[in-house]
Structure 1
């Protein structure tokens, strides 16, 4: 990875769905990102104060990327997400940055490499 991603921590979550559930899930997520630029109250303790759509990498069948700012008990911690659909699978990449939280993003090279592995193993 490039020097600009130093201090970035990334987690990956994979999910497999039935029928069109993955396709509907990523479509719903994309709609929610567009509909909530000023954030949303998830619960009494967890609030998202801002959501910003980002350019998604050209991988998989569909991809959505966004940055949100929010957290527990009024803490505003920026985090970046990229969600990729490949067939009936969804891969969610989550990133936080210890060195530059305001511009945190999931590196495209990480997403591309991991989605290629997913597609190779899932046929």
Structure 2
């Protein structure tokens, strides 16, 4: 995407970046109430919360996975798979494809700074 690299570099200067997401699935089960959450991507790890309730919070590790969703339709282009740790996974829908791509690239760059390579289950 044009300008994505510059945008990510500008955001990377911050300690933590927030993205508004909707949880579509948790542990492979559809979420009946697709409510708005906030995904925090920081220099040391990631956190997902709804209001003041933290759903997941993990430091970057080799067990963590993050990737875009493949498949047809607009929903796939705006969605990401995140497994903070084994046994806990989410399908997250972002506001746009650009937001999703920014979040993935940013998290992977922060993780790489911690000597961790973030990838997806098929990578």
Give yes or no for TM over 0.5. no
More helix by share: 1
Structure-2-length-normalised TM-score: 0.30
Report which of the two structures shows the higher radius of gyration computed on alpha carbons.
Answer: 1
